[in-house]
Chain A
C-alpha cells in the first residue's frame, strides 16, 4: 500500500479513529495525540494488511490496540511524543443536542474496563458478532453474553440519570 492510498483510506475512515479516541480519552489534547499514534501505527503495520480483509476491520484492531495501550500509558503519567498538530478536532464549544447525547454515551463508555470499552464501541459500530469476536480474540458466545450485560448496565445508568428517557 503506498502513502497516498493509505492516507485516502484513513481519510475515508477517520470517524472511527475519532470515536475510539473520544471513548478512551477525556481531553482534546490526548485525543489528538492518540489519533496521531493510531495513524502512525496503522502505517507501520500496513504491510500486514491483507487486501481480502475489510480495511475497517484492520483499522479497528490496530486503533483499539493502540487506544488501550495509550490509555494505560498516559493514565499513569507516561511521556508522550508531541508532533505537529495534523488533526483538527471538532470544536467542543457550541455542542448541539447530538453532541451532548453522544458525549453522555462516551462518558459512560469511558467508565468501562479497557476491553469492555472496545466491545461497546464495536457493538455501537454495528459490527457483526463474528467480526467482533475476531477483532477481540474471544468467542462469539462470549461477545453475545457480554453485550447483553453491557446493554443492561447502560440501561440502568440511563434510568438513573433520566436523561435519555
Chain B
C-alpha cells in the first residue's frame, strides 16, 4: 500500500465519520457553559490565594524579625523562612503568568513547551520551601539562652540543628527522578502526580528539542 493510498483510506474514513458520528449539540452547548464556569480559572484562583497566604506569612515573619532584630538566631531563622516562602511566592506568580500566557491556538511545539515548563515550575515550587525546615529547630534560641545555657543545651541544640540540616539537604538532594526508580522511600515520596508530571515534562521537553533539531 502506498502513501497516497493511506491518505485515501483516511479520507474515506472521514466521510464515513461525518455520516455516522453524532454530536448532541444541545447538550454540548449546556456543557460548554457549565465547564467554562468551573474549569481552568479555579487553578489560577488557587495559586493567587497561595501567593496571598505566602505574602501574609512573610509579612508576619518579617514583622517578627523586625521586633526581634536583636536576636541573631531568630533573624537567621526568619531569613531562611522568608527566602523559601519568597521563592514559593515567585514560583506561584510565574505559574499564574505562564497559565495566562498559554495559548492553545499557538503552534504545537510552542504551546507544549510552555505546558512542560509549567509542570516543572509547579514541582520546583513545591520542593524548595522544604529547605526552611532547620529554621524551626533554632529560631527560639535567645541571646539570654546563649549566655546562660550550659554545655548540655548546646550539645543537644547543636545536634538537633546539625541533624536537621543534614537530613534536609540529604532529603532534598535525594528526591531526584533518578532515585525515584532506585530507592523505595524516594519512590513513595515522589510517586505522586507532581513528580511523574515533571519526569514526563522533561522527557517531553527533550522530545520537542529532538523533533526540532532532526
Chain A positions near chain B (C-beta within 8 angstroms): 3, 7, 10-11, 14-16, 18-19, 36, 39-41, 43-45, 48-49, 58, 61-62, 64-66, 68-69, 72, 76, 78, 81, 83-90, 98-99, 101-102, 105, 113-116, 118, 123-126, 134-138, 142, 145-146, 151, 154, 158, 164-165
18 contacts between A and B (CB under 8 A): A3-B29, A7-B29, A15-B21, A40-B32, A43-B32, A62-B104, A72-B200, A76-B197, A86-B28, A87-B22, A105-B6, A115-B208, A124-B10, A135-B108, A136-B109, A137-B106, A151-B3, A154-B6
B28: A residues at CB distance < 8 A: 7, 10, 36, 39, 86-87
In the complex, the chain B residue whose C-beta lies closest to that of A88 is: B22
Chain B interface size, as a band, is 35 or more
With a cutoff of 8 Å between Cβ atoms, the chain A residues found around residue B212 in the complex are 138, 142
Cβ contact within 8 Å between B109 and A138:
yes
- Count of A-B residue pairs with CB < 8 Å: 160
**Closest residue on chain B to residue A123 by CB atoms:** B7
Residues on B with beta carbons closer than 8 Å to the beta carbon of A115:
108-109, 112, 207-208, 211
Partner of B105 from the list A11, A58, A83, A138 (CB cut-off 8 Å) is A58
The minimal Cβ–Cβ distance linking B13 to chain A, given in whole angstroms, is 5
Q: In this assembly, does B204 line the interface, its C-beta being within 8 Å of a C-beta of chain A? A: yes
B31–A66 touching, CB < 8 Å: no
> Judging by beta carbons under 8 Å apart, are A86 and B31 in contact?
yes
B27 within 8 A of A: yes
Query: Nearest-CB distance from B20 to chain A (Å)?
Result: 5
Q: Which listed residue, A14, A99, A113, touches B23 by the CB 8 Å rule?
A: A14
Instruction: Sort A-B residue pairs by CB-CB distance and give the 9 closest, nearest first.
Output: A137-B107, A137-B109, A86-B27, A124-B10, A164-B1, A15-B17, A15-B14, A86-B28, A88-B22
CA distance A14 to B23 in the complex (A): 8
Given contacts A90-B20, A145-B214, 5 further A-B contacts (CB under 8 A): A76-B196, A88-B21, A115-B208, A118-B108, A134-B107
**Interface residue from B7, B13, B24 paired with A126 (Cβ < 8 Å):** B7
C-alpha spacing A83/B28, complex, angstroms: 10
Choose among A3, A15, A49 the residue that contacts B32 (Cβ–Cβ < 8 A): A3
Nearest B residue (CB) for A66: B104
A101 and B207 contact, CB distance less than 8 A: no
In the complex where A49-B105, A118-B108 touch, is A19 in contact with B204 (Cβ < 8 A)? no
Q: Name the residue in B1, B23, B109 with the highest tally of chain A Cβ atoms < 10 Å from its Cβ.
A: B23
Give the residue name and chain of the B residue nearest to A16 (CB).
B14
A149 → chain B, closest Cβ, in Å?
Answer: 8
Contacts of B10 in A (CB 8 A): 19, 102, 105, 124-125
